[in-house]
């Protein structure tokens, strides 16, 4: 899922609500070496400052929709 408009580093260790769904954000996703197969240098660009994204555990599932409100809890 791609989310914009939030302070991503501030979500680590917290809960995120997207629409009716809730996630426990656990940490930074490490971009793998396959990224450079798509575009040389992409892995290096995505590595610092959580630009590769975060991973989390689903606490409450449900349907997600484009435009759902996103809240850091």
Q: How far apart, in whole angstroms, are the C-alpha atoms of residue 51 and residue 63? A: 25
- What is the 3-state composition of the chain as percent helix, strand, coil, each rounded to the nearest 5? 20, 30, 50
pLDDT attached to residue 34: 80
Q: What is the pTM of this model?
A: 0.75
pLDDT at 50: 67
* All structural domains of the chain with their residue ranges: 8-72
Bridging pattern class, strands 15-18 and 54-60? unpaired
Res 60: pLDDT? 98
Q: Provide the pLDDT for residue 31.
A: 77
Distance of CA 4 to the CA centre of its chain: 10
Task: Profile the chain (73 residues) by mean pLDDT over runs of 10 residues.
Answer: 86 95 91 82 76 89 94 94
């Amino acid at each position: 899922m791609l989310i914009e408009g939030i302070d991503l580093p501030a979500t680590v260790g917290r809960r995120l609500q997207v629409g009716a769904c809730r996630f426990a954000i656990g940490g930074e996703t490490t971009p793998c070496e396959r990224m450079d197969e798509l575009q040389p240098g992409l892995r290096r660009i995505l590595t610092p400052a959580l630009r590769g994204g975060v991973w989390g555990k689903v606490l409450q599932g449900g349907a997600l929709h484009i435009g759902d409100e996103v809240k850091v809890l």
